[in-house]
Amino acid sequence: MGEVEEQAYPRTFHTASVVEDAGQHIILCHAHQPWIAFAQMRRDWYSEEFVAPPPWAGTFVHAGFLVLDREQLTAPLADVDTSDLSQGEWREIRFYGITTLGGVIFNAWD
């Protein structure tokens, strides 16, 4: 069954675990956008620790979410449109050494 864990950190996402016979799946749910991703382990922020969505991830799509895959999330920032990012967000990106789209989307910046 699922387990939801919340932290005191100012994260841009929530996490949940789904345990099945094949193992545990860590689900990342963006706090402000209908975006879902899957990760190897539970963390406070991510950069490249994403995994391919399990076969049942399509259930999220049918519910109106966008399931992001590992290729999208590990895309270098230089390869994506970052024109909507604020100066403050760029300051955090540089400070934390974020280099991927997933690192911007799933973060725990102050």
pLDDT of residue 9: 59
Average pLDDT taken over every residue of the chain: 89
Domain that holds residue 67: 2-105
Q: What predicted TM-score, i.e. pTM, was given to this entire model?
A: 0.84
pLDDT of residue 17: 93
Q: Is residue 110 part of a domain?
A: no
Q: Is residue 71 part of a domain?
A: yes
| Counted domains in the chain | 1
40 phi, psi to nearest 5 deg: -70, -40
E strands, 6-44, where? 13-20, 23-30, 35-39
CA 47 vs. chain centroid, Å, equals 9
Is 86 inside a domain boundary? yes
Distance between first and last Cα of the chain: 32
Using 50 as the pLDDT threshold, list the residues of the chain that sit under it: 1, 4, 6
What integer pLDDT is reported at residue 15 of this predicted model?
93
